[in-house]
Amino acid sequence: MFLSKYATGFYSFFRGFKALNKNKLWAYVLLPSFLSFLIGTGILYFSYQYFSSYLSENFIKLNSYLPSLLQFGNTKTTLILAKVFALLFSFFIYVILYSHLASLMIIPFIGPLLTRLENIYLGKSIEIPLSKDIKNAFLGILSSLKYLPLSILGLLFSLFLGPFQIVFMIFWEGYFLGKGSFEYMLEKDTETLKERSEKRKGHRTQMWGLGSAQFIFLMIPVIGIVLSPCTAMAGAFLLYHDIHES
């Protein structure tokens, strides 16, 4: 049962891409994709610059603690290694911050896309009052702040997993990415936080699978950052409303 639901959620990410392409909805993707590109590349650039500078300047100190790993006797090789570590660290920082910033800064701009999907597949759009929209935005900020420490703890724990780090992060961060994609549907369809939590539980495994697929897609340079938010949202929409296409 778990694997079946997880696989359904995972595959729904690609179903979301198919729905966008089939219904020619790329015009609705432009603004969210542009914002996603700015946020994603901004996080990558500044985190890489920080870690690259820090590790390059302090590798002599690190060498005294980890001689078997860092002692090559070649400054150029040591600096290259520092940049490799900087790239690795900046990637995980990018994924962690992106999953939370996306729910705050990108998903609100996916509203027109979601409305169009509702009109196509449900025959009508689900309207919510402005007061509820503002309330949901505030709750979204609190939710992101609540789960951010868990993302950081997951990253710290993964540092001890060696080659299995990436596998752990796919599952760990996949939940937060999937949750962010589902949240907009839940906000429209529920009145209270308790009701939202109950409905979220019913989709948790599928949400996890969807987010895992999004995490993997985010590893693809440029394309991953640009297309993942809207593709995941479309996939979450099809899952939530149990829509099946041929």
Q: Give the residue extent of every domain in the chain.
A: 2-33+98-240
Give me the pLDDT at residue 9, please.
Answer: 92
Give me the pLDDT at residue 186, please.
Answer: 82
What the block records as the tokens of 164 is: 């299995």
Residues near 180 by beta carbon (within 8 Å), at least 6 away in sequence? 99, 100, 102, 103, 107, 211
What the block records as the tokens of 243 is: 């829509």
CA–CA distance, 157 with 29 (Å, rounded to integer)? 35
For 175, other C-beta atoms within 10 Å of its C-beta total 23
Taking the model in full, what pTM does it have? Answer: 0.82
Closest CA to 87 of 41, 38, 45, 40: 45
Closest CA to 121 of 25, 11, 5: 25
For 202, other C-beta atoms within 10 Å of its C-beta total 10
CB 236 within 8 Å of CB 178: yes
CB 72 within 8 Å of CB 148: no
For 33, other C-beta atoms within 10 Å of its C-beta total 21
Report how far Cα 115 is from the mean position of its chain's Cα atoms.
22
CA–CA distance, 52 with 88 (Å, rounded to integer)? 10
Give me the pLDDT at residue 54, please.
Answer: 81
Give me the pLDDT at residue 238, please.
Answer: 92
Give me the pLDDT at residue 231, please.
Answer: 95
One pLDDT digit (tens) per residue for the chain, 246 residues: 788 999 999 999 999 999 999 999 999 999 999 988 998 899 989 999 888 888 777 766 655 555 555 555 556 677 777 788 888 888 878 877 887 777 777 877 888 898 899 999 988 887 777 677 677 767 767 777 777 788 888 878 887 887 888 889 889 888 888 988 888 888 777 777 777 778 888 888 999 999 999 999 988 888 988 999 999 999 999 998 876 665
Instruction: Give the chain's radius of gyration (CA, Å).
Output: 20
Give me the pLDDT at residue 68, please.
Answer: 54
